[in-house]
Structure 1
């Protein structure tokens, strides 16, 4: 147990010091992790774990929906995609449907990869302008 405490402290510190963009990236990564685990759970016929992992992924999508800035124009295009992913996760859970999980995994991975590029480009601009954050 003592070995987990330094790691937990590291994780807590990472979350507490992360920027909003980094937190969003963490949410995407967590969602990917839970979807992949749910896919394994379906293959292993571990229905209880599958349910838990899909629900965790759904909660992340819900958090992304709640925190989406509706004043930004692209949000009008992103929200329906989040809603669709949430719905597909529900279907995957009800039907033990790995293909639905694969579909959502593709969307979340694309969002994560795009978000990662936005963070990198923002940092490059800040450093180019001498704003060391």
Structure 2
């Protein structure tokens, strides 16, 4: 069944056709979006919105954790950081604490920015002409 909303169709297609690296970037951006919405909900005392958006951010963190390849050393270093962010989100939700949300947001922003830079470097390497020398 076709969607009546062209934007929804575009979003679905962009997710289903995106390479894995781009999907990770989308997850980071989605997490930041929900943290931002939760911050607004706290300032407006919207308890249900705060809870829903923090839980969405936590679900994204859980997905990022699930996709880590624990055979790679970097993944072993990232797992505790994701766990820390998840705890901060939980505590922010319980205590309606903007500072805890900001802390989680700062960490995820840094992850997102590093990941985005890595993707750009990878794209440049893939699209640059080979520097082959003649034997």
Structure 2 matches for 1:19-38, cutoff 5 A? 19-38=19-38
| Deviation of the 1:75 alpha carbon | 0.9
Distance 1:48 1:13 in 2: 30
Distance 1:100 1:129 in 2: 46
Distance 2:74 2:67 in 1: 14
Structure with the greater alpha carbon radius of gyration: 2
Structure 2 matches for 1:18-97, cutoff 5 A? 18-97=18-97
Distance 2:67 2:81 in 1: 14
- Compute the TM-score of the two structures, normalised by the length of structure 1: 0.93
Ranges of 4+ aligned residues in structure 1 off by more than 2 Å: none
Q: Which runs of 5 or more structure 1 residues have no equivalent in the other structure?
A: none
Secondary structure of the structure 1 residue equivalent to 2:73: coil
| Residue correspondences, number | 128
Distance 1:89 1:129 in 2: 45
- Compute the TM-score of the two structures, normalised by the length of structure 2: 0.92
**RMSD of the alignment, in Å?**
1.3
Q: Which runs of 5 or more structure 2 residues have no equivalent in the other structure?
A: 131-135
Distance 1:99 1:90 in 2: 13
